[in-house]
Structure formats: structure tokens, C-alpha cells
Structure 1
Amino acid sequence: MELLDLVKKHSPVTGEQLAEYLGVSRPTLRSDLSLLVMLGMLDAKPKVGYFLGNTLRTAGEPLPRFNSMKVKDVQGVPVNIPDTLSVHDAVIMLFTENADTLLVVTENKRFAGIITPKDLLKITLGNAGAASIPVSMVMTRYPNIVTLSPDDSVLDAIRKMSLHQVDCLPVTVESDDGAGQPVVTGWVSKSNIIRLMAEHATSQELGEPGL
């Protein structure tokens, strides 16, 4: 992971410096840095900066437990919408399902793309007729989307989220008919990962077996 390599090379290093090295804004990195700190990969001290966390200093491989866990064991149920759904109805779905990302599927349930609040905001601002536009016109289309396989490790999911700066990754499998578009079986989000870490920390405090 590029962030970890930069911290290892320049620690202690501030968030502003990391953003400058990567050519992105500081807010863009905030959620990734918070996740890495929570996972124990990074530590942070106010007015000092970021440095490698205890997980990386004491283990040959970061989060070996997460490296052995499979995506299929932790994936959540995705919020799927048809590619014919209107932008207006997609906005309603985001709120009613409390979702950060919607997965778009075709009539035969093949994975077509994803749509985020940012996508919806961009199309609706200053566009009075946007509400009736189908989401297929504004979504990010497959295959231009990073995905996971059910047999990928949870650590792979963490790495992909950090590398591509996304909050959610669809989990897909090849369709039975061999068509080009896969089938969505689930998703992994940063909230999934944070929940896993919380459960692991609780089990460690109680002296129970880890995840």
C-alpha cells in the first residue's frame, strides 16, 4: 500500500505531507488514514504526524488474521437497484436504505455499475429534468469498477479500498452463462471492516478467541 510505504519512508509525516506526496487533497486521505489507524497499521500523534502502527512493527505481515479471513465470510447484503430506476428514486433509495453506494444491476441481475451520492449530486445540480433520468446514464459502468472475489482475503479488500480510495467494493462472481457481466453476491464497506475490528478488540479484551 502506497500510504504505508510513504509513512515508513518519511515518518513521522503529517497528513498534509502525505497528501502532497500523493498529489491529492488532505480531505481525500482523511478516511483512509482513520481506517489505517483504527486497524493498527498506523499510529498518529497530534502535532507530530503518522508513523507505523504496532501491527506492522510487531508482525512480519500486517493483520495476519485478516489475511486468512475470506471476503465471503464478512460481506454484507448489497443495496441493488435496476438500471432503469430514475435518479429521483435512487436518491430516495440512498436515504431509505442508509447507503453510501448503490449497486446497479440489469434486468437479468447482471452487475452493471455503481452510483454514489456524488454522482447524483453532479447530475441534479442546475438540471431541472435530472430527476427522471435513468441511473444507467449517470452510473460508473462495469468494468471500470474495482471489485472483489468471494475468495479474496479481507486484507486484500482493505488494500484495494486504500489504494483506490473507495468506501465500498462489490463482491462478484462469474455468471453461469459465461456472459461478460458478472453477478453481484455482496459488498464490503469500510463500515464492515471497522465493525470487524471492534468485534476483534472486544474479544481480545474479554480473553476470547479472535476473529
Structure 2
Amino acid sequence: MIEFSARQLEIVDIVQKNEPITAEQIAEMLGVSKAAIRSDLAVLAMTGYIDAKPKVGYFRGNSVKRDGISSQLNTLLIKDIQGVPVVVQETASVHDAVIQLFLENVGTLMVVNQDGFLVGIISRKDLLKVTLGNPNASTMPVHLVMTRQPNIVTVSPEDTVLEAARKMVHFQVDSLPVVKRDNHSNLLVIGRITKTNMTQLLVDLAMEV
């Protein structure tokens, strides 16, 4: 990884805040001559941290834009973008779960007990597997077909969005329950994070840069 000098980092900052800006203006803000920063500008342009347009000036380069999005994903927290949890009681039937899945237009339901604590996860795939060729499946309680702990991947509201994205990719899941752990290690469901949340966030961040 390239290590930039303090002056080069200052140039990137100046360009970000004042784009488009000419080399003469950058030099003036730094209190040096244009010739003194010629090599700095060349290095930053070659590495993609600034970009130049003839007769216009310098702009942020693609590297800065990528770094900006990466930095925001690393600082944004789950609680900033989480959605409302879609839950089903563990005593509910598979039929009830299927109805709720389609009414809420989601791919996964979080299964909770009467106290609202997470006890399982049931996905569209789980419901499909249990109902195909099984005429009695609709009356089964969801706790018989759900995925249980410790096989449930969760996030906390204080986790970063980037950490949630990594978990989704690693475990190949479409959504994650957002939970708070009480003094007895029970997991209270307070939200959910989905691939749709992630996609919308990336679109929003890309539009900003």
C-alpha cells in the first residue's frame, strides 16, 4: 500500500473540499509554488486519488470515492439502517408462517417465544422443504422445522454495517436478526438487516460521491 506524504494527503483534502480546483489554487492554499507540488499531483493522479480535466482543474479520483464508501460502511452502525423485525411465535403453525411470509413479503421469519426472545429462524426454503409432498405439514408448529441456536447468525445494533455484510456473505444468508442480549444471555429481537437494506445503502452512498 502506498504511503502518502503529509502534503499529498493535504492536497487530497483540498481537492475534496474545493473541486474543481486548479494547480495554482492548490499551491496558493499550501503556500508553495506550483512547481513544488507538480510531483505530488502526478503521484496522486497516477494512483487515482485525484483526477484532472484540462482547462477545468482537479477533482476527486475514483480511489477517494471508493475509500469514502468503505469508510462509511465501517462507521455506519446497524441501528442506523435496521428495519422492523418480522417475527412469528414458536407456537404458530407452518401454515400461519407461510401466510405471514407472503403478507410481509420477506424471505425469513424470526421465531420468538412468548417473551419476545429469539429461539429460531425459518426461511422460505425451510417452509418449502417441509410442505412439499407432506399434506400434514401445514398444521405442524414452526418450532419443529426452524433453525435453532447456535446455528443462528445475529448482529447487535452497535455492530458496523460492514460486519453485517461480511456475515451475510460468509454464512450465505439474506437477512440477519438484530438482537440485544439481556443479563441471562437471552436475545431480544429489536430489528432486522437485509440484503435490500444493504443494496439501498450502497446506492445512496454511491449517489453521494
In structure 2, distance between residues paired with 1:194 and 1:102: 20
Kept after mapping to 2: 8 A contact 1:172/1:186? yes
Paired position in structure 2 for 1:48? none
In structure 2, distance between residues paired with 1:62 and 1:106: 38
TM-score where L is the length of structure 2: 0.66
Q: 2:118 aligns with which of 83, 86, 111?
A: 111
Kept after mapping to 1: 8 A contact 2:174/2:195? yes
Kept after mapping to 2: 8 A contact 1:94/1:102? yes
In structure 1, distance between residues paired with 2:66 and 2:96: 49
Kept after mapping to 1: 8 A contact 2:69/2:206? no
Paired position in structure 2 for 1:38? none
Paired position in structure 1 for 2:88? 81
Q: 2:146 aligns with which of 120, 136, 139?
A: 139
Paired position in structure 2 for 1:120? 127
Paired position in structure 2 for 1:174? 181
> How many residues are aligned here?
148
Q: Could you tell me how far 1:168 is from its partner in structure 2?
A: 0.4
Q: Secondary structure at the match of 1:184?
A: strand
Paired position in structure 2 for 1:151? 158
1:170-209 superposed matches below 5 A: 170-175=177-182, 178-204=183-209
In structure 2, distance between residues paired with 1:203 and 1:62: 9
- Measured at CA, do residues 95 and 58 of structure 1 come closer, stay the same or move farther in structure 2, by a change above 3 Å? closer
Q: Could you tell me how far 1:144 is from its partner in structure 2?
A: 1.4
Corresponding letter in the other structure for 2:190 = T
- Measured at CA, do residues 102 and 58 of structure 1 come closer, stay the same or move farther in structure 2, by a change above 3 Å? closer
Corresponding letter in the other structure for 2:112 = V
Question: Structure 1: where are the runs of 5+ without partners?
Answer: 1-53, 205-211
Q: 2:75 aligns with which of 47, 65, 68?
A: 68
- Measured at CA, do residues 160 and 56 of structure 1 come closer, stay the same or move farther in structure 2, by a change above 3 Å? farther
Question: Structure 2: where are the runs of 5+ without partners?
Answer: 1-61
Q: Could you tell me how far 1:201 is from its partner in structure 2?
A: 2.3
Q: Could you tell me how far 1:111 is from its partner in structure 2?
A: 0.6
- Measured at CA, do residues 55 and 103 of structure 1 come closer, stay the same or move farther in structure 2, by a change above 3 Å? farther
Q: Could you tell me how far 1:58 is from its partner in structure 2?
A: 6.0
In structure 1, distance between residues paired with 2:105 and 2:66: 38
